[in-house]
Amino acid sequence: MHQFKESTRNRIIFYFAILFILFIILSLKLVWIQVINSAEYQHQALDQRVREFIVNSERGIIYDNTGRKLAVSLPAKTVVALPDNIIDPKKTAAELADLLELDYQTIYRRLTSDASAIFLQRKINDKLYQQIADLNLKGITFTEENKRYYPEGELASHIIGFTGIDNNGLNGLELSYNNYLQGKSGKIVVERDASGKTIPDGIREAVPGRDGYNVYLTIDEVIQFMAEKELEKAADEFDISGGSVIVMDSENGDILALANTPTYDPNKFSDFTEKSWRNRAISDLFEPGSTFKIITTASALEEGAVTENDVFTDPGYIIVGDQKINCWKLWGHGVETFAEVVKNSCNPGFVEVGLKMGKASFYSYIKAFGFGEKTGIRLPAEAAGIIPAYNKVSDVELATFSFGHGLSVTPIQLVTAVSAVANGGKLMRPRLVKEVETGAGKKNIVNKSQVVRRVISEKTAAKTQQLLKQVVASGTGTKAAIPGYQIGGKTGTAKHYNEDIYDSSFIGIVPADQRKLVVLIVLYDVAGHTYYGSQTAAPLFKDLTKNILGYLNVKPDYKHEFTYQSNLSSQIIPDLKGLSFLDAESKLRAANFNVKIIGNGKIVTDQLPVSGTEAVYDSTVWLFDQAHSVQNILIAVPDFRNKSASTARNLAARKGLQVKTTGQGKVVGQSVYPGKRVPAQTIIRLKLR
């Protein structure tokens, strides 16, 4: 009996010990759950009974400068599958496959996934939504999102760009201003019961979102439409790969139109090639050709290396180093003033000007006008252009720069640089966005016009404009002329290396009441017999500009038609040797000569042309100090043939050369071939008969 009691007692102690151990384990587990790891379990419990709904923000509207909508957001349905509620996934997948244009297996795999909800197709059109809704499929529902819509289709597509399926900007201003346009999504948190229904008095929390900011552009929808229509016309009329048009208000840098062809519809951008999305006006490089002569002209006038009355000679070419650079006119333009060099678009004349400026000076002006660097227009993929490194620029490169070859620029760089000539000398930063509207009670973000730097004086800008007006009035740009309007401009034609295709262009300065517009037309890869800028781009410029002026209600003025006036009266250059530079310059200025000083010395030791030369009013006299020889200046030899001895002698003196004649009558031969560059004061022997 005692043994039985002892055994029972041991079993009780054993079971009690087990229960005690279990109690300790459960207690520790409860401490772990309720104390140590309570936050995690609370979060899991909350997740089971709380549902979070994302409230999409609405993307901001993009307006033109008159308030017309260029990009808006519209409600669109998204097809959502709830796999747990689908009764027959095979049948449902089969019915949706054709409508959604998706593979059956792809849909079936989504319908049978472990997800509680899954997107089948986002932002469908109203017709497709109605077709799916009419099927009344169990487990198929819809949610509403915002879809980007471009009311004008292809209009300004390269400026505006487009968004992806998640409403994030992928191109154009939609990308570069995405942080302003996209807004911030909000959310609503609700508590549900075991059946998934919302508990009326359960937890509710709303985190407000923020709609995107509206953006106001400088673009004028009407002018943009006109620009795109002209490019369409060019594509039909000429054999080209594409083209660009930019219209800029030179006073503030506002872009009123920026168009390219080919174009695309941002509402269905995926239907177009990526090449069509490319904004060639800011991304593509081209040789500006003769349009760059505007920059050469303004730089040379500002530097004082030349005036409109300086004499030039063009036998049809000029020789620089071992290169023969031809003029477009086979027999050349003969003797001409610099004003006529500009009007005639004479390459040898511009080569002389570029070389007279010198490498350091000319290169610095090219950079000052903004070439070789991005303009900062704030559009994706802007190119910086290509300007050869300074240490790789020889006289030949410098010569070709002067007429727009050997360097590559973007259309936006060229129109920005010429706008500095149009507005009195200020290089402006191009502006596409005028203002960002940040909502009620907040201060709007204003994108003020910005002066990058002053590159030339107002006087130089005004003189350059006058020279450009004569180009349109009676020079190579007459096909751009519009009666009643004083337009200045320049054609450009640049041949591709080793290819028989061209880039043709025209850029013009257009007075429009209190402001001056700069309009650029560029046609890329022009093939066929009609390729000169004067034949292709200039007529397009005329038609576009006429429409713009009519739209802006700028009336023609037939009473004050432009006529270029020059003073070609002659006078004798005085002897300046031995004078101080200050006295010599004062004496020349008083006699209405332009002065170019070479050196930093105090006393004039030589001059060009020499004293006693009969020179034209406001022509340039070069003064040298002891450290700089006049013979370091190279002069292009004129074609003296068929000239009298006196005429040849005077021309040589004005150019800075000397002649010795034999015989009588007209010049029939000369010791140095025309167009060759020789040191100043070189004696040229002429044979007369």
Lowest mean pLDDT among 47-56, 190-199, 532-541: 190-199
Lowest mean pLDDT among 19-28, 38-47, 519-528: 38-47
Between the two ends of the chain, the Cα-to-Cα distance in Å is 164
Helix axes 411-422, 293-303, angle to 10 degrees: 40
Residue 667: which of 637, 649, 641, 639 has the closest Cα?
641
Return phi, psi of residue 567, to 5°.
-105, 105
Lowest mean pLDDT among 95-99, 384-388, 526-530, 643-647: 95-99
Whether residues 79 and 101 fall in one domain: yes
Q: What is the CATH number of the domain that holds 430?
A: 3.40.710.10
pLDDT tens digits, one per residue of 126-165: 788 788 888 888 878 777 777 899 999 999 999 999 998 8
Whether residues 195 and 300 fall in one domain: no
pLDDT tens digits, one per residue of 379-409: 999 999 999 999 999 999 999 999 999 999 9
Whether residues 227 and 212 fall in one domain: no
Q: Chain-wide mean pLDDT for the chain?
A: 90
User: What ranges in 136-244 are assigned the alpha helix state H?
Assistant: 157-160, 172-176, 178-181, 221-237
Whether residues 155 and 288 fall in one domain: no
| Per-residue exposure over 333-370, b if at least 16 CB sit within 10 Å of its own CB, e if not | bbbbbbbbbbbbbbbbbbbbbbbbbebebbbebbebbb
Token digits for 133? Answer: 């809704």
Residue 125: which of 291, 268, 249, 230 has the closest Cα?
268
What pLDDT is attached to residue 263?
Answer: 95
Please report, for residues 337, 474, 571, the alpha-carbon distance to residue 568 in angstroms, rounded to integers and kept in the order given.
9, 19, 10
* Mean pLDDT value across residues 89-104: 81
pLDDT of 50 > 60? The answer is no
Whether residues 387 and 367 fall in one domain: yes
Token digits for 425? Answer: 């000398």
Whether 669 is in a domain gets the answer yes
| Residue 210 or residue 413, greater confidence | 413
Whether residues 383 and 335 fall in one domain: yes
With pLDDT > 90 as the criterion, what percentage of the chain qualifies? 71
Q: Mark which of 190, 217, 244 sits at the end of a domain.
A: 217
User: What ranges in 423-536 are assigned the alpha helix state H?
Assistant: 458-474
What pLDDT is attached to residue 618?
Answer: 94
Whether the ω angle into residue 151 lies within 30 degrees of 0, i.e. cis, is no
Q: What is the CATH number of the domain that holds 676?
A: 3.30.10.20
Q: What angle do CA 329, 333, 337 make, to 5 degrees?
A: 140
* Mean pLDDT value across residues 589-593: 95
| Rounded-to-10 torsion of CA 222, 547, 230, 540 | -150
| Residue 240 or residue 52, greater confidence | 240
516 vs 530: CA distance, rounded Å:
30
216 vs 213: CA distance, rounded Å:
10
464 vs 54: CA distance, rounded Å:
61
Whether 34 is in a domain gets the answer no
Whether 561 is in a domain gets the answer no
Whether residues 191 and 306 fall in one domain: no
Whether residues 547 and 601 fall in one domain: no
Whether 35 is in a domain gets the answer no
Whether residues 119 and 229 fall in one domain: no
* Whether 574 contacts 611, CB under 8 Å: yes
Residue 278: which of 124, 146, 148, 383 has the closest Cα?
383
Whether residues 210 and 359 fall in one domain: no
Report DSSP letters for 271-331, one per residue. GS-HHHH--HHHH--B--GGGGHHHHHHHHHHHTS--TT-EEEESSEEEETTEEEE-SSTT
With pLDDT > 70 as the criterion, what percentage of the chain qualifies? 91
pLDDT of 30 > 80? The answer is no
Whether the ω angle into residue 609 lies within 30 degrees of 0, i.e. cis, is yes
What pLDDT is attached to residue 190?
Answer: 53
Token digits for 171? Answer: 């191109």
Whether residues 304 and 407 fall in one domain: yes
Three-state SS for 570? strand
Q: Are strands 594-598 and 620-624 parallel, antiparallel or unpaired?
A: parallel
Check residue 239 and report its DSSP letter.
Answer: B
151 vs 68: CA distance, rounded Å:
10
Please report, for residues 86, 102, 116, the alpha-carbon distance to residue 97 in angstroms, rounded to integers and kept in the order given.
16, 5, 21
| Residue 536 or residue 50, greater confidence | 536
Q: How confident is the model at residue 606 (pLDDT cuts 50, 70, 90)?
A: very high
| Residue 196 or residue 58, greater confidence | 58
| Residue 497 or residue 68, greater confidence | 68
The identity of residue 241, as a single letter, is S
What pLDDT is attached to residue 200?
Answer: 54
The identity of residue 184, as a single letter, is K
Residue 159: which of 232, 264, 290 has the closest Cα?
264
Looking at the 3D structure of the chain, how many domains does it have? 3
Q: How confident is the model at residue 438 (pLDDT cuts 50, 70, 90)?
A: confident
What pLDDT is attached to residue 169?
Answer: 93
279 vs 591: CA distance, rounded Å:
53
Q: What is the CATH number of the domain that holds 182?
A: 3.90.1310.10
Token digits for 542? Answer: 């005329």
Return phi, psi of residue 60, to 5°.
-65, 155
What pLDDT is attached to residue 501?
Answer: 95
The boundaries of the domain holding residue 429 are 221-551
pLDDT tens digits, one per residue of 464-473: 999 999 999 9
pLDDT tens digits, one per residue of 259-305: 999 999 999 999 999 999 999 999 999 999 999 999 999 999 999 99
Three-state SS for 254? strand
Give me the residue label for tokens 């009007």: 343
| Residue 20 or residue 216, greater confidence | 216
52 vs 489: CA distance, rounded Å:
63
Q: How confident is the model at residue 39 (pLDDT cuts 50, 70, 90)?
A: low
pLDDT tens digits, one per residue of 488-519: 999 999 999 888 999 999 999 999 988 999 99
Q: How confident is the model at residue 47 (pLDDT cuts 50, 70, 90)?
A: low
* Whether 467 contacts 441, CB under 8 Å: no
Three-state SS for 123? strand
* Mean pLDDT value across residues 442-459: 93
Whether 41 is in a domain gets the answer no
Q: Mark which of 217, 242, 257 sits at the end of a domain.
A: 217
540 vs 214: CA distance, rounded Å:
34
What pLDDT is attached to residue 559?
Answer: 87
Whether residues 528 and 610 fall in one domain: no
Whether the ω angle into residue 89 lies within 30 degrees of 0, i.e. cis, is no
248 vs 259: CA distance, rounded Å:
12
User: So which residues are the catalytic ones?
Assistant: 290
Instruction: Report pTM.
Output: 0.86
Whether 2 is in a domain gets the answer no
What pLDDT is attached to residue 457?
Answer: 97
